[in-house]
Amino acid sequence: MPEVGGKTIETLFSAEDIAARNLDLARQISDGHFHDLLVISILKGSFIFAADLIRAMHDVGVEPHVEFITVSSYGAGTESGQVRLLRDIDSDVSGRDVLLIDDILESGKTLKFVRDLMLERGARSVSIAVLLDKSVRRKTDIEADFKGFECPDYFVVGYGMDVGHAFRQLPFVGWVKD
């Protein structure tokens, strides 16, 4: 079992499993026949997933524009609460198909906030791709159009996801055992 920063990490999804799944997701996105597609990576947690997914999209012939938005959710401990926009995209989304990429869909508050913002701005459609879906924690009526894996109810790290900015560098997704 990997030891990182003095902690034991139990692997949930290996780098190989994630890479294979990213290619499946890219093919599904390609079948969506999006028009004037703008991909928006929701920072910070999605940066590695988005980087891999957009390259898998390239491999299957999808040619998106790519943007970044930074949002933050404040709440007690690891529970997400109020969502705040920290850094906006630069692009005009009106009339465009938008694909939001996030690391994990949990309560749904983060993705609902960004989706509603893009719809208010006149996006033609807003779809959602997430690596992980922790559906037992959902508190909104939002669902992902493209999802990598159903996630067990652990606080997970790696592949961009952190605890206090640690563990983002791991090429796999796991949870901290001790």
Q: Any contact of residue 103 with ligand IMP (CB under 6 A)?
A: yes
To the nearest whole angstrom, how small is the minimum distance from the Cβ of residue 10 to ligand IMP? Answer: 13
- 127 is a site residue for ligand IMP (CB under 6 A): no
Check binding of 25 to ligand IMP (CB under 6 A): no
Q: Is 108 in the site for Mg ion (CB under 5 A)?
A: no
Distance (Å, rounded) from C-alpha 69 to C-alpha 42? 5
What is the smallest separation between the CB atom of 6 and ligand IMP, expressed in angstroms? 19
Residue with smaller CB distance to ligand IMP, 27 or 168: 168
SS (H, E, C) 112-170: HHHHHHHHHCCCCEEEEEEEEECHHHCCCCCCCCEEEEECCCCCEEECCECECCECCCC
104 binds ligand IMP (CB under 6 A): yes
- Kindly identify the residues of this chain, within the stretch 27-66, that bind Mg ion according to CB under 5 A: 45
- Rounded distance between C-alpha atoms, residue 64 and residue 54, angstroms: 8
3-state secondary structure of 51: helix
155 scored as a contact of ligand IMP (CB under 6 A): yes
Which single residue is written with the structure tokens 């938008």?
98
Query: How many CB atoms lie under 10 A from the CB of residue 11?
Result: 15
Size of the site for ligand IMP (CB under 6 A): 15
Residues lying near Mg ion in the complex (CB under 5 A): 45
